[in-house]
Amino acid sequence: MAIREDSLTRHPSITNNRVTEAVSNSMFGLENPGFCLACGADHDGCEPDAEGYECYECGKHEVMGAEQVLLTIAV
């Protein structure tokens, strides 16, 4: 079952803690994390405001940058 917060439906494995940790790693490290909202896969090399990137796990265009996910679930 997917988690829905306003306009964002995300895979249940994409928890608030997971997103916060990814954003922290991005801010204080060299990572550029993102998540596939459809299958929950991790992605590297995502721009912070990425939306609609193709997932290399499931093929759907549901990858978002971690910062964008954080902003969307925080609003």
For the stretch 43-61, pLDDT in tens is 999 999 999 999 999 999 9
Confidence (pTM): 0.85
Q: Is the dihedral of CA 9, 51, 33, 60 positive or negative?
A: positive
- Calculate mean pLDDT across residues 5-9: 65
- Confirm if 52 and 8 have CB atoms less than 8 A apart: no
- Determine the pLDDT at residue 1: 52
Read off the DSSP letter of residue 47: -
pLDDT band with cut points at 50, 70 and 90 for residue 73? confident
Percent of the chain whose pLDDT exceeds 90: 75
* pLDDT surpasses 60 at 38: yes
